[in-house]
Amino acid sequence: MAQNETGIRLAPEPRLAQFCIDVLLATGTDMATAEAASGAMMHGSVHGVDSHGVRLLDHYVGAFRGGRLNKSPDLKLERTRGGTAMLDADHGHGARATYAAIDHACQMAGECGIAAVGIRNSSHFGPAGAYTMAAANRGMLALTVCNSDSFVRLHDGASRFHGTNPISVALPSGEENPWLLDMATSAVPYNRVLLYRSLDQELPEGIASDHEGVDTTDPHAVEMLAPVGGAFGFKGAGLGGFAEILSAVMTGMRLSPDILPMGGPDMSSPREMGAFVMVLDPDAFAGAELVRAGMQRYLGLLRGSPAREGARVMAPGDREWDVARQRRAEGIPIDPDTVQAMRALADEYGLSVPF
């Protein structure tokens, strides 16, 4: 049982992925759901996006058991035009629906040059970058957004409004890994606040607010996050709105203030969430070769650009590839709560823990 110098359990990637699949199948999901949900969680865990990694396994098991998530959804694609479709996810797992939407969008973009799929009746889809990366690995430029339950105040707002509404964009870079942007439209992830809380440290200014919407640096007082942008938070709030509009308004699904909280207590009602994917084929623009060459030149200039003292200029994704290299070599760290949850799941289903 591997562990690192701080005593954190380390799980090899393939065993961890298989464990997630085995647990989900034991819960009663179909194989497509188990593979998609495991794939999305592993994207998070491999790349260091631990908030959207395998710590979600236990949560998802609860959502399948409670009936919030459909274990064997019957996904229905309605192609509305040459480049567009609506996908009804039948209240299945968000990863199952979003990988399927990316597949359809890639196929349609291969024909029309560009395509979009609006997803209906879906659920939490985890790390947005998992889906844009899947498209980039097929030579496409992709943009994926979703909304989520209210947790971010508006600019000049004093209550929770948008979710952390992520935006991810990826495209092939001509390198092993794509160019990959995956950002919440909040100033910080809530996990960052929880980290400061556990360390009892003051937060940076202007990133979170108390229950009255007043900025606070006390991590224990945080009741909502600020939109990204600080004094210019109307930009972050506008970007959160962009994700909200594509995900919820263009699909007719729930707005963030209307979405049931992820953590329950109701784990039986479907959350009726939307999401949205868009795919562009570089071959329908300057051409795949020229776009790859352009990305190479862009990334070369960017990484060679002068850095601040003691810092390094990185392209979106560069930090993630570094983490992935290390974790694939040394194993994926599993936090103590997740170790405990996985042990309970392994005991219940007669499986071996992956660490």
User: Taking CB under 8 A as the criterion, which residues in 144-183 touch a copy of itself?
Assistant: 154-159, 161, 169, 171, 179, 181, 183
Determine, following the binding rule CB under 8 A, whether residue 118 of this chain makes contact with a copy of itself.
yes
Determine, following the binding rule CB under 8 A, whether residue 194 of this chain makes contact with a copy of itself.
no
Question: For residues 181 and 131, is the Cβ–Cβ distance under 8 A?
Answer: no
Within 284-313, the residues that bind a copy of itself by CB under 8 A are 284-287, 290-291, 294-295, 297-298, 301-302, 305-308, 311-313
Q: Judged by CB, which is closer to a copy of itself: 190, or 298?
A: 298
Determine, following the binding rule CB under 8 A, whether residue 206 of this chain makes contact with a copy of itself.
yes
State both tokens at 54.
């395998």
- C-alpha pair distances (Å), 204 with each of 187, 215, 311: 11, 10, 19
Determine, following the binding rule CB under 8 A, whether residue 193 of this chain makes contact with a copy of itself.
no
State both tokens at 175.
């390198």
> Which residue blocks in 93-142 are alpha helix, DSSP H?
94-112, 129-136
Question: For residues 192 and 204, is the Cβ–Cβ distance under 8 A?
Answer: no
Residue 156: CB minimum distance to a copy of itself, A: 4
Token look-up 């948008």 returns: 162
Residue 250: CB minimum distance to a copy of itself, A: 4
Contact pick of 76, 111, 220, 340 for a copy of itself (by CB under 8 A): 111
Question: DSSP states of 25-68 as a string?
Answer: HHHT--HHHHHHHHHHHHHHHHHT-GGGSGGGHHHHHHHHHHTS
User: Of the ranges 94-102, 132-140, 251-259, 341-349, which one interacts with a copy of itself (CB under 8 A)?
Assistant: 251-259
Q: Judged by CB, which is closer to a copy of itself: 91, or 153?
A: 153
Contacts of 123 (CB under 8 A, 6+ apart): 63, 68, 69, 89, 91, 92, 93, 94, 97, 270, 271, 273
Amino acid (1-letter code) at residue 36: A
User: Of the ranges 29-37, 128-136, 274-282, 330-338, which one interacts with a copy of itself (CB under 8 A)?
Assistant: 274-282
How many residues make contact with a copy of itself (CB under 8 A)? Answer: 81
Q: Judged by CB, which is closer to a copy of itself: 205, or 337?
A: 205
User: Of the ranges 38-46, 199-207, 262-270, 323-331, which one interacts with a copy of itself (CB under 8 A)?
Assistant: 199-207
Q: How many residues are recorded in the chain?
A: 355
Determine, following the binding rule CB under 8 A, whether residue 239 of this chain makes contact with a copy of itself.
yes
Show the binding pattern over residues 78-97: x = contacts a copy of itself (CB under 8 A), - = does not: --xxxxx-x-----------
Determine, following the binding rule CB under 8 A, whether residue 133 of this chain makes contact with a copy of itself.
no
Query: Residue 153: which of 62, 85, 198, 216 has the closest Cα?
Result: 216
Determine, following the binding rule CB under 8 A, whether residue 190 of this chain makes contact with a copy of itself.
no
Determine, following the binding rule CB under 8 A, whether residue 204 of this chain makes contact with a copy of itself.
yes
User: Of the ranges 69-77, 88-96, 125-133, 246-254, which one interacts with a copy of itself (CB under 8 A)?
Assistant: 246-254
User: Of the ranges 26-34, 51-59, 65-73, 247-255, which one interacts with a copy of itself (CB under 8 A)?
Assistant: 247-255
Per-residue burial over 325-352, b if 16 or more Cβ lie within 10 Å, else e, is eebeeebbbbeeebbebbeebbeeeeee
CA–CA separation, 33 vs 231, rounded Å? 42
Residue 58: CB minimum distance to a copy of itself, A: 29
User: Of the ranges 38-46, 59-67, 225-233, 341-349, which one interacts with a copy of itself (CB under 8 A)?
Assistant: 225-233
Residue 126 backbone zone (phi > 0: left; psi -120 to 50: alpha; other: beta):
left
Question: For residues 175 and 299, is the Cβ–Cβ distance under 8 A?
Answer: yes
Determine, following the binding rule CB under 8 A, whether residue 28 of this chain makes contact with a copy of itself.
no
Strand-pairing partners, residue 9, are 3, 334
Determine, following the binding rule CB under 8 A, whether residue 353 of this chain makes contact with a copy of itself.
no
